A and B are shown apart, each in its own frame.
Chain A
Amino acid sequence: MTQPHLSLQNVTYTYEENGPEAVSDFSLDVGRGEFVALLGHNGSGKSTVAKLLNGLYTPTGGNVLVAGMDTQDSQYTWEIRKRCGMVFQNPDNQIVATVVREDVAFGLENLGVPSEDMPAIIDRALSAVNMADFADRAPHMLSGGQKQRIAIAGILAMQPEIIVLDEATAMLDPSGREEVLETALRLNREQGITVVWITHFMEEAARSSRVAVMYKGKLVMDGTPREVFSQVDLVREYRLDVPPMTRLAHMLRERGLDVRPDALTIPEMRQEVKRLAHHA
């Protein structure tokens, strides 16, 4: 078996000394090219996990390895941050420059990339998030979804292997959310970038290939969206909801109808209803 791309080993994190544990004894391995959704209600510690992944926080106990490099070892700090990019929740608070092109250049400037190489890299990064036409615009004139895609482009320019999106869609409207999720899914599919998608929207988690659920700083569920969401009662116990179609399936089963418990999408549900109608 190859080495996991991201590895959290019995990680514990407290914000203050002897304070409550925001993350406690958390272990999770993410393989190269995976798309993992990390779910949890507010205060479950999922944002803390995000900041542990690129060395913004170093664990109080346990180890975090990014491509085999320990985040506690300060000689790797910048290499880890270059390989593991991070998109934050508030689109306004992560854009540094007054022109889109210059903001995408920010990471490159920090890495000391030669000036003459930058324009081509920037154009490629902006094209990858379908924002090439906006290179000379002012970021504050863009929509939330567009700003988040600029933030992704700024990270892509640094040629990362991993992108962590920490509730990147929480402040966006539905169409902006779709834009950003679609972009992340495509980068995962086409460029093989490992994605950790932190969210509290179940519909988004349903489209990942793996769902991890956090509760009170601990990892409590881990599996495919189907495996996780079909356990409706357990998911609810962790103060989360399940996707609407799974909820509908659950309700129908409670009333004695034999639909599959792990239906996630509307087409799947339609098929199930058709099948039932056929039998009746």
Chain B
Amino acid sequence: MLRDITLGQYYPIDSPVHRLDPRIKILLTMAFIVCVFLVGSPLGYLPIAAYLAWATWMARLPAKMMLRSMRPLRILLIFTFVLNLFFGTGDTELLRLGFIRVTQEGLYNAIHFSLRLIFLVIGSSLLTLTTPPVTLTDGLESLVSPLKVIKFPAHEMAMMMTIALRFIPTLAEEADKIMKAQSARGADFTSGSLKQRAQALIPLLVPLFVSAFRRAGDLAMAMESRCYRGGEGRTRLHVLKTGRKDWLAVASIAVLYAVVLLMARYV
């Protein structure tokens, strides 16, 4: 059960989008999110949808993958839609069922906000689907490194994230082992009330934490033995490079902005 934890949702293939500089990809995603908020009407989402479809095609991602990224948000999505639909303001009544009334404005808002949510989620999963978590971390480190001037620990933060990612499978495997060992001695993790199940996790979490601390001590010693002394004077195996394709991607988002702003104004 704990075995099939995938690291993030990275989809390992090769495509022009996968090869983009992670820094550019992070910035583009942020720009895209802002762009989604600039859209003024449901019709205005057309260029957004077209852009996402194009990006998905460029990234050679199956459409199914993109839709699957929506799944964790389906409840929030339904709530957004229903609340806006039934409890919207406005006077143009479309339907009345007892105290519930559906107005034209409510319907409009329901569609508007639901679409906004959908495009936000799909847009940001495009980033995580095409960028391995460690590369993402490298990109973030590089983006926040100017903050080192104000003593922001950019390198340390990235190193911690990398190590956390590295140890997820190791600790998952260990949790699995401890669970089996406890089950063999009669522990029950799967039945009982929520409180009982939470309590059953204590004999799993305590040894897991103890071992995680021991591992951390070992790892620190191994890192020191290999001359690790913080980010100062450190070089990297993979140097982030911004090339022509990155500027093309930036240009594409500029076009999207132009279209969205024009539509917000004239349509």
Please determine whether chains A and B interact with each other in the same assembly: yes
Q: Which chain A residues have a beta carbon within 8 Å of chain B's beta carbons? A: 51, 54, 56, 78, 81-82, 85-86, 88, 90, 92-99, 101-102, 105-115, 118-119, 122, 138-140, 151, 154-155, 158
Partner of B222, one of A93, A112, A119: A93
**Inter-chain contact B218/A82, CB cutoff 8 Å:** no
Q: Assess whether B42 is interfacial by the CB under 8 Å rule.
A: no
Whether A56 touches B225, Cβ cut-off 8 Å, given contacts A90-B218, A97-B166, A98-B166, is yes
A101 to B134 Cα, complex, angstroms: 13
A119 to B215 Cα, complex, angstroms: 29
Q: Assess whether B69 is interfacial by the CB under 8 Å rule.
A: no
Interface residues in B148-201 by Cβ distance below 8 A to A read: 162-163, 165-166, 169-170, 173
**Inter-chain contact B227/A118, CB cutoff 8 Å:** no
A132 CB, min distance to chain B CBs, angstroms: 16
9 smallest CB-CB distances across A and B, nearest first, come from A94-B222, A93-B218, A105-B237, A107-B226, A110-B227, A140-B169, A86-B225, A93-B215, A112-B233
B247 CB, min distance to chain A CBs, angstroms: 22
B244 CB, min distance to chain A CBs, angstroms: 21
Whether A81 touches B227, Cβ cut-off 8 Å, given contacts A88-B218, A94-B218, is yes
A122 to B239 Cα, complex, angstroms: 16
- Which chain A positions have C-beta within 8 A of B221? 51, 56, 88
**Inter-chain contact A107/B227, CB cutoff 8 Å:** yes
What are 5 A-B contacts with C-beta separation under 8 Å? Answer: A93-B215, A106-B228, A110-B229, A112-B235, A118-B235
B 201-226 to A, binary, CB cutoff 8 A, 1 in contact else 0: 00000000000001100110111111
- Which chain B positions have C-beta within 8 A of A106? 223, 226, 228
- Which chain A positions have C-beta within 8 A of B239? 115
B230 CB, min distance to chain A CBs, angstroms: 9
Q: Counting chain B CB atoms within 10 Å of each CB, which of A114, A119, A138, A140 scores highest? A: A140
Q: Counting chain A CB atoms within 10 Å of each CB, which of B163, B233, B237, B238 scores highest? A: B237
Partner of A115, one of B134, B163, B236: B236
- Which chain A positions have C-beta within 8 A of B237? 101-102, 105, 108-109, 115, 118-119, 122
- Which chain A positions have C-beta within 8 A of B227? 78, 81-82, 107, 110-111, 158
**Inter-chain contact B226/A88, CB cutoff 8 Å:** no
**Inter-chain contact B228/A110, CB cutoff 8 Å:** yes
**Inter-chain contact B234/A112, CB cutoff 8 Å:** yes
A103 CB, min distance to chain B CBs, angstroms: 9
- When C-beta atoms are compared, the residue in chain A nearest to B226 turns out to be A107
- Which chain B positions have C-beta within 8 A of A98? 7, 133-134, 162, 165-166
- Which chain A positions have C-beta within 8 A of B162? 96-98
- When C-beta atoms are compared, the residue in chain B nearest to A154 turns out to be B226
A135 CB, min distance to chain B CBs, angstroms: 11
Given contacts A93-B215, A108-B235, 13 further A-B contacts (CB under 8 A): A90-B218, A92-B215, A93-B219, A93-B222, A96-B223, A98-B7, A107-B226, A109-B234, A110-B234, A114-B235, A115-B235, A118-B235, A140-B173
- Which chain B positions have C-beta within 8 A of A93? 214-215, 218-219, 222
A111 CB, min distance to chain B CBs, angstroms: 6
- Which chain A positions have C-beta within 8 A of B134? 97-99, 102
B11 CB, min distance to chain A CBs, angstroms: 16
A155 to B223 Cα, complex, angstroms: 11
A86 to B222 Cα, complex, angstroms: 8
- When C-beta atoms are compared, the residue in chain A nearest to B237 turns out to be A105
B171 CB, min distance to chain A CBs, angstroms: 10
- Which chain A positions have C-beta within 8 A of B228? 106, 110
- When C-beta atoms are compared, the residue in chain A nearest to B230 turns out to be A110
Partner of B166, one of A56, A82, A96, A109: A96
Partner of A78, one of B166, B223, B229: B229
B259 CB, min distance to chain A CBs, angstroms: 39
- Which chain B positions have C-beta within 8 A of A85? 225-226
Q: Counting chain B CB atoms within 10 Å of each CB, which of A92, A119, A138 scores highest? A: A92
